[in-house]
Amino acid sequence: MNILLCLDNSANTEKLLQRVRQFAGALKHANIKMVHIIDEQLFYTTTGFEVQLNETLQEESSGLKERCLELLGEVAYMEVYGVPLLKIDEVLAGTDHDLVISGTLNSHSFGGRLMGSFAEHLLHTSTKPVLIIP
């Protein structure tokens, strides 16, 4: 089974990784590809600190990758830049996966307050099964 794991660097990330480890451990052959989308919209409002912001975001992404490898073992890691709700559609179309796993990430809209707009977007756009871990 090919699993696409969508992670951000939030307070829920550690809990999500623990649950994915339990889930993937129950499967005999789980290939996990982890995607971390760095929101390029963060760069729109900065003035003069883009280099420092990019370095900080890359350090956080590197730490996230290390934690994934530590908890999940062999994981293919993708770090991409873009608008998360748009970029994930490209990632979904360009990867071979049987299941998408995500946590309840950001909450930007009224409809997404309980689940998170990213998770809600996955449920509406993915052509493959989606597992949302609270």
Q: What is the pLDDT of residues 57-78, one digit of tens each?
A: 999 999 999 999 999 988 999 9
**Whole-number average pLDDT of the chain:** 85
Domain ranges of the chain: 2-133
Measured torsion, CA atoms of residues 94, 8, 102, 78, in degrees rounded to the nearest 10: 30
Per-residue pLDDT at 108: 43
| CATH 3.40.50.620 holds for 2-133 | yes
Say if CB 84 and CB 37 are below 8 A apart. Answer: yes
Per-residue pLDDT at 112: 39
What residues in the chain have per-residue pLDDT under 70?
46-47, 105-116
